[in-house]
Amino acid sequence: MVCTHLDELIEPIAVGDVVPDADARAHLASCAACAHALELARQIDGVLAAQPVPDVGPAFTSRLMVRLRRERWRSEQYLDVAFNIAVALAVVTTVGGLVMVLAASGLTTVSPDLTGLFVSGAAEVLSAVTPALPVYGVAAAVFVSGMAIWWWAERGFEI
């Protein structure tokens, strides 16, 4: 047996998967390099096998659960956004469809004064509302602030 042949068997012999035959034993007894290689292979196996299993500690689980809840909250947010976009698309599509149906049926051309009627009606409503505009402004600001606080609280506590 030559060194290159034995080299293939060093690791299986070192870990006990292969029992060296008489040829291999004779070679190992006469070749210092192969004997050293086998000893080194055994030492590598010994050191690797002697390692304790590392533990990351029980706090790992709580950190993981925080991350899990955060990811869950994010995916719910994505779902909300996707739902809102879908609703907006549905509204736009419905309105577009209605406009197309009206245009196709010729109803929009029945009375050119119809648009004027809506415009004058809107102007009337606006003139009635104008004196109380500051009150509406304050009410809108209170409403928006309330929504902002609710959004902040949900974001802060759901994480």
Partner 1 sequence: MPDLSDDDLVRLCREGSDEAFAELVGRYRRLVFGIISRTVGDPGRAEDLAQDVFLRMHRGLPYYRGTARMSTWIYRIAVNVCLQDRSAPKRIEIAIDADAATDRPLLQLGSKDAAFGTIELRDRLGKALARLPGKYRALIAAHYLKGVQYEELAEAFQLPLGTVKTHLYRARRELRKLLEGELA
Under rule CB under 8 A, residue 104 binds partner 1: no
**Which stretch in 3-11, 92-100, 101-109, 123-131 sits in contact with partner 1 by CB under 8 A?**
3-11
CB of 62 to partner 1, least distance (A): 8
- Residue window 39-58: x/- pattern of binding to partner 1, with contact defined by CB under 8 A: xxxxxxxxxxxxxxxxxx-x
CB of 152 to partner 1, least distance (A): 25
Q: What letter does residue 57 receive in the DSSP assignment?
A: -
What sign does the CA torsion over 28, 33, 34, 39 have? positive
Q: Which amino acid is at 85?
A: I
Q: 3-state DSSP: the chain helix, strand, coil percent, rounded to 5?
A: 85, 0, 15
Contacting partner 1 (CB under 8 A), which of 3, 5, 29, 63? Answer: 63
CA nearest neighbour of 16 among 36, 38, 48, 31: 38
Q: How many positions of this chain bind partner 1 (CB under 8 A)?
A: 36
Q: Which is nearer to partner 1, 61 or 84 (CB)?
A: 61
CA end-to-end span of the chain: 67
Under rule CB under 8 A, residue 106 binds partner 1: no
Residues numbered 67 to 86 that lie near partner 1 (CB under 8 A) are: 67-69, 71
Under 8 Å between Cβ of 159 and 73: yes
Contacting partner 1 (CB under 8 A), which of 5, 23, 61, 122? Answer: 61
Residues across the chain? 159
As to burial, measured by CB atoms within 10 angstroms (0-12 exposed, 13-18 middle, 19+ buried), residue 28 is: buried
Under rule CB under 8 A, residue 20 binds partner 1: no
Which residues of the chain form contacts with partner 1 (CB under 8 A)? 7, 10-12, 14-15, 17, 37, 39-56, 58, 60-61, 63-65, 67-69, 71
